[in-house]
Structure formats: structure tokens, C-alpha cells
Amino acid sequence: MQRTQEFTTEIRATTAEVNGINLQIASATKQQAVASGQINQSVQQVVEQNQDVLREAPKTRVMVTGIEQMTGLIVEQIAGYKTC
């Protein structure tokens, strides 16, 4: 009878320990899920920003071309002014 009580006590202690470990695992899993969600959100923001850059790149190219043309005209005007 004494031996049975000892086994029962050991089983209860081991069960309590396993339950504690399970709670730690559940907590860590929840934290990982939160972190994964944050990472996913950050990646999504980067994707959206890259899409914005790709969408605006052609407009930027047109503006740069226009600025280059204006710069060329200004250089010609300055050169013409110097020769006058």
C-alpha cells in the first residue's frame, strides 16, 4: 500500500511537471505566432513600398529626362550669352 502511494505521488509530481512544460510551450508558441504576424506585416509593408517605387519609377524617368533637356537649354543659353 505504501509503495502504491509513493508511485501515485510520483505520478502526480511528474504530471504537474509535464503540465508546467506544456504551459511554457503554449506560451512560447503564442509569442512566436505574434512575432510571425509582426514579421509578416513588415514584409507586406516592404512589398507595398516596392510596388510604389515601381509604379513611380517611369514618372521619375520622365522628370529626369525633362530636367536634362532644360539643363541642356540653359547651357546653350549661357554659351550664347557669353558670345554676345
Question: What is residue 1's DSSP assignment?
Answer: -
Instruction: For cell 509569442, name the residue.
Output: 31
Render pLDDT for 1-37 as a digit per residue (tens, 0 to 9): 888 899 999 999 999 999 999 999 999 999 999 999 9
Classify residue 53 by burial, with Cβ atoms within 10 Å: 0-12, 13-18, 19+. Answer: exposed
Question: What is the model's pLDDT at position 27?
Answer: 98
Q: Does residue 72 have a pLDDT over 80?
A: yes
Farthest-apart Cα atoms in the chain, separation: 120
pLDDT band at 84; cut points 50, 70, 90: low
Q: What is the pLDDT of residues 37-68, one digit of tens each?
A: 999 999 999 999 999 999 999 999 999 999 99
